[in-house]
Structure 1
Amino acid sequence: MKELTDFLLQFGNLNTQQIDLIGSKTEELLLKKEAYFSEAGKIPNQVGFILEGILRVCYYDNKGEEVTKYFGDENHLIVDWHHFEAKIPASEYVQAVTECKLLVFSRKDWEELSNTIIGWDTIVNKIIQKALIEKLDRRSPLVSEDATTRYLTFLEKFPSIANRVPLSYIASYLGVTQQSLSRIRKNIR
């Protein structure tokens, strides 16, 4: 719970009672490797905070190929926010890449925090803004750089993820084939 508290306090002030209330609304969830936190076609009904492990957001393109959109690791919230907020079926999957331990809020409890804690929505909005900026920072170079530069940038920005996820997911994230990524890795050693 300390990790979640420290994370939330980066975005606003909470008193002891509010922190205790937040803690009472979480439930620990263990996800096995490759299990889904949320699935395409279903309405996301929970918000998770990653204590241990890595999850990825992925989808299938029009050719039926799996595409990794981004990764989430320790001390980050994980939720398909757009679909969670709109209460509509998701178009993406949130899948455990490794064994994961999360603190999870149900939709009901998340909404109760919003209705009970003054400033909760402001904190959540700041978290969302930060996540959107990070997402743009992650994706923008992928469009304009060559594959080797994209991989080196990935290693620089995500050193804690690079050695913990399968190469196929990194290749998908970078928009290259696994064979190309293997060649790139061999050439930069």
Structure 2
Amino acid sequence: MEVLINHLLQFGNLNKQQIDLIKSKAVFRKIKKDEYYHEAGKTPREVIFLIEGIMRVSYYNRKGDEVTKYFIEENNFVADINSYNQEIPSTEYVQAITDCSYYSFSKIAMKDLSMTIIEWDNIIAKIIAKGLVDKVNKISPMMSEDATERYHSFLEKFPKLANRIPLSYLASYLGVTQSSLSRIRRNIR
């Protein structure tokens, strides 16, 4: 729980009563490797804070191929903000690619925190803004890089993830075939 509180404190000030309220609203949960936390077509009803494990966000393109958009590692919030806020079905899947544990905040809990903690909405807005910047910074450089450069960039930005992510998911994220990624990995060793 301290990891979550410390994360929140990076974005604003909270007193002891507010921290206790946040702790009372958080529900600890676990999910096994390969299970889906969320599926496309369903409307998100909660926001989670990942404390252990890695999740991936994916979708199916028009050809029916599964495409990995990005990975989410420990100490990050997980939410399809657009679908959550507008209460519309999501177009993305969120899957645990390792065993994961997280704190869950229901929509009601989030509303209660918003109504009770004056700074809450500001903290959440800062977290969302940082998440969007991080997402753009992950994806934008990849547009102009070749496959080998994308793999090197991934290793630089996420050195702890490369050995924890199945090759097929990493290849999908990088936009290459699994055999191409194997060749790239072989050539840089």
The answer to whether TM tops 0.5 is: yes
With the shorter chain as reference, the TM-score category is: over 0.9
Q: Which contiguous aligned blocks of 4+ residues in structure 1 show a shift greater than 4 angstroms?
A: none
SS at match of 2:160: helix
TM-score of the pair, normalised by structure 2: 0.98
SS at match of 1:88: coil
- The answer for the alignment partner of 1:20 in structure 2 is 20
Q: Quick one: which amino acid aligns to residue 2 of structure 2? A: K
Query: How far apart are residue 33 of structure 1 and its match?
Result: 0.8
- The answer for the alignment partner of 2:94 in structure 1 is 94
Quote the sequence identity (%): 58
- The answer for the alignment partner of 1:156 in structure 2 is 156
Q: Following superposition of structure 1 onto structure 2, how do residues 173-184 of structure 1 map, counting pairs within 5 Å?
A: 173-184=173-184
Query: How far apart are residue 144 of structure 1 and its match?
Result: 0.2
Q: Distance in 1 between matches of 2:46 and 2:161?
A: 24
SS at match of 1:50: strand
Q: Following superposition of structure 1 onto structure 2, how do residues 6-85 of structure 1 map, counting pairs within 5 Å?
A: 6-85=6-85
Size of the alignment, in residue pairs? 189
Pair 1:127-2:133 in alignment: no
Query: How far apart are residue 160 of structure 1 and its match?
Result: 1.4
- The answer for the alignment partner of 1:171 in structure 2 is 171
TM-score of the pair, normalised by structure 1: 0.98
- The answer for the alignment partner of 1:5 in structure 2 is 5
Q: Distance in 1 between matches of 2:113 and 2:50?
A: 19
Q: Distance in 2 between matches of 1:111 and 1:87?
A: 14
SS at match of 1:21: helix
Q: Distance in 2 between matches of 1:141 and 1:175?
A: 13
- The answer for the alignment partner of 1:116 in structure 2 is 116
Kindly report the root-mean-square deviation, in angstroms, between the aligned alpha carbons of the 2 structures. Answer: 0.6
- Structure 1 unaligned residues grouped into runs of 5+: none
Q: Quick one: which amino acid aligns to residue 8 of structure 1? A: L
Query: How far apart are residue 112 of structure 1 and its match?
Result: 1.0
